[in-house]
Chain A
Amino acid sequence: MDKQQPLLSVKNLKTHFFMDEGVVKAVDGVTFDVQAGQVFGIVGESGCGKSVTMKAVLRLVDPPGRIVGGEIMLRRTNEDGSTNEAIDLVKLDANGKMMRDIRGAEIALIPQEPMASFSPVHTIGDQICEAIMLHQSVDKRAARKIALQMLKDVGIPIPEQRLDEYSWQLSGGLRQRAIIAMALSCNPRLLIADEPTTAVDVTTQAQVLRLLRRLQEQRNAAIIFITHDLGVIAQMADSVMVMYLGLVMEQGPVETIFHNAKHPYTQALLRSIPTVTMTPRVNLPTISGSIPHPFNKPKGCPFHPRCEKSIAGKCDARTPALQAAGERQWVSCFLYHDVEVSA
């Protein structure tokens, strides 16, 4: 790892859901670091635990879900910009004053569906100013000024008018920009973007991604970028973590993951991306089988039933741990090491 202290350091995070039917281990031992100013991508299919990981970092996991283990260390910054001791978010009361001061101010969320993520009966301005007044000691007028500047920064035309409009009066792209403005309004050092471009068309998606990247560089904020789209990851991320059924399969810098993927799951994901050099009218390679139901996770490596290279007697019996495999690359696969997850 880098010598620099990471902004966010998640260690062996476990978040389980206690349902009547049984326990769903949505996140089952996830470890990663996010450096200041870095874009950290989390990829995976639906249900792999990427959104739950993000909710755990914000301490917004709803019952019956609960963080059952691990730590989430956040390095806080003093008023003067000097760094402070890291605190473990898992130990904080999820709705306590301290966690609420962190939420929105230090870690902000860019949610998935901008349409549903704004209240339809409150104006955009009201909702943005609310966040500003909550974390900064400013009055209504000053908050409005900040909100106006934020809307300008994210490239919304005629922002004075937009502040007094409702989310459903805006186009999809503008709504997405407004949501980003709201998340950035308190200058957070960590942004969590949960599939922020799934709800907009491709052209708008490209614009929004460029905007996010520019704002992130200007403000030197870190982003945890959650998506199922490897193309978006390639465009946005500095490092990538690939998740499958609540576990980390592989992790490393974006170039390494795309050009030298080690885990069979990552390799299979990359093969299923269409490219311009492909022969037309040939079926895309797919990953055989489907994601198992969370109640019957396979024993051993969760991917082994769908894995072409699975080793009988090993992959179906023991769960591989995430281990270093080359410079700044980690993989949990018995093809590369023999370390299993300790129970």
Chain B
Amino acid sequence: MLRFIVQRLLILPFLVLLFSVIVFWLVQAPPGDFLTSYVANLASSGSSIDAEQVEALKRQFGLDQPGYIQYWRWMESLSKGDLGLSLEYQRPNTELIGERLVLTIALALFAFVITWLFAIPAGIYSATHQNSWLDYVLTVLNYIGVATPNFMLALILMWLAFSYLGLSVTGLFSPEYIQAPWSWERVVDLMKHIWLPAIVLGVAGTARLTRVMRANLLDELNKPYVVTARAKGLSEWKVVFKYPVRLALNPLVSTIGWYLPQLFSGSLIVATVMNLPNIGPLLLRALTQQDMYLAGSILLIYCFLTIVGTLISDILLALLDPRIRMEGA
């Protein structure tokens, strides 16, 4: 078990390195660079810039160098823990990404907790009371949950919260805390705002997870070991929770790793609609402006989180399932 974790941790830097190459190549892939889009933007707003200035900027940003040198410079700064400079904002990327990343992770974790807190019990109930009226109600709700685009859900919930509860629900902070430094009051204020976007982001996942949990558990409930457990004289409640629920959870645990990046990228439209200061809109802007070091850094963080998430779910799965823990032992 320990060997398994150490092995995975040793592979981690190599994976990140590999992803950094792919990410860099991807953000460089569109034709042109930051300056071409910068010039185009200036032109569309009526002003212009002479070729000499463009050349000067090009040299300043290192855009005149070949790709591998640019990559090397990026890597050099990365190895010092510096994500480079945003070409557009002319500020360090670390600063730009920092708080947004914290808020994004907080939001993702909240949505995740809401999803599991609701989906697992609902799935268990649906499976153990298959074809009961509440099972049918949950099934209908799940279909609605999966089918509703989350930005629309966001609009509806915002409208409801505003017109019936009188809550201002855009953003993650009240106006007075937006620029404030972190403090206990700011955290409380965040908690007051975060639940609505977390629900919006969690609904589709909850609906899917409920269905998967229901289906997994229905499969497990028909297995002979359940009959064996019942034949021992265990109460139905104990039978269900000790055996089939435990086994039905295993495949779900192995998907936790995919869940985090999915929430990050899935939140873009919701973040725009709800005016959330998270990382989605920043990435979109960086990509359209070809602000390559910013976009690359964000994507690389995504990759890193995906790898770490997968590692966490692998460890959890190994803890839960001895068949995986003892593989090859």
Contact = CB atoms under 8 A, between A and B. Distances in A.
Given A121-B320, A121-B322, A166-B323, A100 B231 contact: no
A134 B233 contact: yes
Interface stretch (A105-113, A137-145, A268-276): A105-113
A101 B233 contact: yes
A104 B233 contact: yes
Given A120-B247, A121-B320, A109 B235 contact: no
Contact of B246 (A105, A108, A112, A121): A121
Given A119-B247, A121-B247, A166-B323, A131 B224 contact: no
Interface-centre pick from B234, B236, B321 (highest chain A CB count, 10 A): B234
Contacts of A168: 323
B233 to A, nearest CB: 4
A116 B225 contact: yes
B232 A134 contact: yes
A60 interface: yes
Nearest to A167: B225
B227 A60 contact: yes
Contacts of B231: 58, 60, 103-104, 108-109, 111
A60 B230 contact: yes
Given A119-B247, A121-B320, A166-B323, A102 B225 contact: no
A117 B233 contact: no
Contacts of B242: 122
A154 to B, nearest CB: 16
B36 interface: no
Interface in A30-61: 58, 60
Given A111-B224, A116-B225, A117-B228, A100 B321 contact: no
A113 B236 CA distance: 22
A134 B224 contact: no
B223 interface: yes
B89 interface: no
Interface string B225-251: 101111111111000001100110010
A108 B227 CA distance: 11
Interface residues of B, number: 23
A103 B224 contact: no
A53 to B, nearest CB: 15
Contacts, number: 76
* Most A-side CB within 10 Å, residue of B230, B250, B321: B230
Interface string B168-180: 0000000000000
Interface string B307-327: 000000000000011110010
A179 B231 CA distance: 12
A219 B235 CA distance: 27
Interface in A71-122: 95, 100-105, 108-109, 111-113, 116-122
Contacts of B247: 119-121
Contacts of A121: 246-247, 250, 320-323
B232 A111 contact: no
A143 B322 CA distance: 23
A130 B234 contact: yes
Nearest to A105: B233
A135 B231 CA distance: 12
A113 B227 CA distance: 11
Contact of A95 (B224, B236, B320): B236
A103 B242 CA distance: 18
Contact of A117 (B224, B250, B320, B326): B224
Contact of A119 (B225, B235, B326): B225
Contacts of A169: 326
A117 B227 CA distance: 8
A58 B232 CA distance: 10
B241 to A, nearest CB: 12
B110 to A, nearest CB: 30
A130 B228 contact: no
A121 B319 CA distance: 10
A11 to B, nearest CB: 23
Given A60-B227, A109-B227, A109-B228, A120 B323 contact: yes
B228 A118 contact: yes
Interface string A151-188: 00000000000000010110000000001001000000
Nearest to B321: A121
Contacts of A101: 233
A135 B232 CA distance: 9
B224 A112 contact: yes
Contacts of A119: 225, 229, 243, 246-247
B224 A113 contact: yes
A119 to B, nearest CB: 5
A103 B323 contact: no
B234 A134 contact: yes
B322 A166 contact: yes
Contacts of B323: 120-121, 166, 168
Given A100-B233, A121-B320, 4 more contacts: A109-B227, A119-B247, A130-B232, A168-B323
28 contacts: A58-B230, A60-B227, A60-B231, A102-B233, A103-B231, A103-B232, A103-B233, A104-B233, A104-B234, A116-B223, A117-B224, A117-B227, A118-B228, A119-B246, A119-B247, A120-B225, A120-B321, A120-B323, A121-B250, A121-B322, A122-B242, A127-B228, A131-B232, A134-B233, A135-B233, A166-B322, A179-B228, A182-B228
